Amino acid sequence: MRTIGVVTSGGDAPGMNAAIRAITRIAYSENLQVLGFERGWEGLIESKFRPLTPRSVGGIIQSGGTILHTLRCPQFKRKEMIRKAAETLDLNKVDGLIVIGGNGSFKGALELSRETDTLIVGVPATIDNDVFGTDETIGFDTAVNTAVNEIDKIRDTAISHERTFIVEVMGRKRGFLALTVGITVGAEIILVPEVKFEKEEIFKILKENSAKGKKSSIIVAAEGIGDTRKLAKEIEKNTAAEVRLSILGYAQRGGSPTARSRLLASLFADKAVKLLLKGRGNRIVGLQKGRITSIELEKSCKTEKPLDLKLLRLASVLAT
Ligand code: F6P
């Protein structure tokens, strides 16, 4: 192992820069060269990369986003593009590649692993926290805190106007972000794609809350549950509640990473470089029950991470 490549791919997440920094400095301490591929998979397809040194990753641990830039690369589904990327790795004698990203990026990494001898290790970084093989992804804690801070502000105006707010959070098709945010803001209702909900049940809860003297409510809804604008209108039509919708959007993707996201990035980076040094490729690193570990890349790609529905029941008890 002499040269490793690093690439950030898919949706960016706060902490990606901390991971790039740690990978570079740990690799240098092991006398490895580091090449930073730019703009996700496009950097491999078009052979666009730059050397990373301990100095070139200085002063970035506190920055959101990724200094390597990233993108979604649908063309990476085409065999010839994957082969071009493999060629870049082989031509530049890249012995190991660390892919910092989420599920979509790891699926691309799995396809790439079949076309190259370069060892590939995934570092899970996505605000969605939906990667099988890790309890937590880089960026998730930061996105949770961003959302919590915004919803605490919304709670003020909800109380003042005695209004019900639907707050839509990200998470793509999963409810990990919505569930954790919902619990930590004391949401009266949490809606996740994994659990089918009846609108009548929502109307009933809001009416009961009002009768109990709860004059304002926060409903945290994962973006994957469907049309929240339509839901807001239906609630207003079927209850006495005055309803407003607030879509948190892309603020959840940015901001300075929390200490936890930075720590996870540094620990995952250490594990990833150590796996490559041991010649162990086609794995993703992860946090499992407090331990930094790794699982097979293919298993992660093919397994859906379960949502802890016990937490959903806890949330409803806490909101009474
Ligand atoms: O995967 C991270 C994420 O922020 C999802 O939560 C969201 O649905 C998606 O990316 C948005 O994708 P894009 O950045 O391509 O608009």
Q: 8-52 pLDDT, tens per residue?
A: 999 999 999 999 999 999 999 999 999 999 999 999 999 999 999
Q: What is the pLDDT of residues 137-149, one digit of tens each?
A: 999 999 999 999 9
Equal CATH topology for 3-139+257-302 and 141-253: yes
Does ligand 1 come within 6 angstroms of the Cβ of 190? no
For 280, the 3-state DSSP assignment is coil
Cα 228 to Cα 93, 166, 178, 289, distances in angstroms = 50, 7, 14, 34
Residue percentage of the chain with pLDDT more than 70? 100
Tell me how far the alpha carbon of residue 31 is from its chain's centroid. 31
Q: Give, using CA atoms, the residue closest to atom 10 of ligand 1.
A: 11
What is the C-alpha separation between 103 and 304, in angstroms, rounded? 10
Tell whether the model's pLDDT for residue 320 goes beyond 90: no
As a whole number, mean pLDDT of residues 287-302 equals 98
Q: What is the pLDDT of residues 108-153, one digit of tens each?
A: 999 999 999 999 999 999 999 999 999 999 999 999 999 999 999 9
Cα 265 to Cα 144, 177, 271, distances in angstroms = 16, 19, 10
User: Ligand 1: which atom is nearest the Cα of residue 253?
Assistant: 4
Quote the mean pLDDT of the chain: 97
* Count of helix runs (H) and strand runs (E) in the chain: 11, 11
Domain covering 3-139+257-302 in this structure, CATH number: 3.40.50.450
**33 Cα–ligand 1 center, Å:** 32
**286 Cα–ligand 1 center, Å:** 21
Q: What is the pLDDT of residues 262-288, one digit of tens each?
A: 999 999 999 999 999 999 999 999 999
Instruction: Report the residue among 107, 128, 250 best suited for mutation to probe ligand 1: largest number of ligand atoms under 8 A from its CB.
Output: 128
Domain covering 141-253 in this structure, CATH number: 3.40.50.460
- Specify the pLDDT at position 79: 96
Length of the chain: 320
Closest CA to 246 of 165, 134, 153: 165
Report the DSSP pairing between strands 164-169 and 217-222. Answer: parallel
- Specify the pLDDT at position 316: 86
Q: Give, using CA atoms, the residue closest to atom 9 of ligand 1.
A: 172
Instruction: Report the residue among 105, 127, 146, 252 best suited for mutation to probe ligand 1: largest number of ligand atoms under 8 A from its CB.
Output: 127
Does ligand 1 come within 6 angstroms of the Cβ of 172? yes
Residue percentage of the chain with pLDDT more than 90? 98
Task: Give the single-character DSSP code of 78.
Answer: S
What is the C-alpha separation between 320 and 316, in angstroms, rounded? 7
As a whole number, mean pLDDT of residues 226-255 equals 98
Strand-pairing partners, residue 98, are: 6, 121
Strand-pairing partners, residue 50, are: 36
Q: How confident is the model at residue 181 (pLDDT cuts 50, 70, 90)?
A: very high
What is the C-alpha separation between 42 and 115, in angstroms, rounded? 16
Does ligand 1 come within 6 angstroms of the Cβ of 11? yes
User: With contact defined as beta carbons under 8 Å apart, do 220 and 176 qualify?
Assistant: no
CB within 8 Å of 230: residues ≥ 6 apart: none
User: How many CA atoms lie less than 13 Å away from 118 in the CB half-sphere?
Assistant: 32
* Spans of all domains in the chain: 3-139+257-302, 141-253
What is the C-alpha separation between 48 and 40, in angstroms, rounded? 10
User: With contact defined as beta carbons under 8 Å apart, do 174 and 252 qualify?
Assistant: no
Q: How confident is the model at residue 319 (pLDDT cuts 50, 70, 90)?
A: confident
**9 Cα–ligand 1 center, Å:** 12
**pTM higher than 0.85:** yes
Handedness of CA 264, 265, 269, 275 (dihedral sign): positive
Give the residue numbers annotated as catalytic, written as ranges.
128
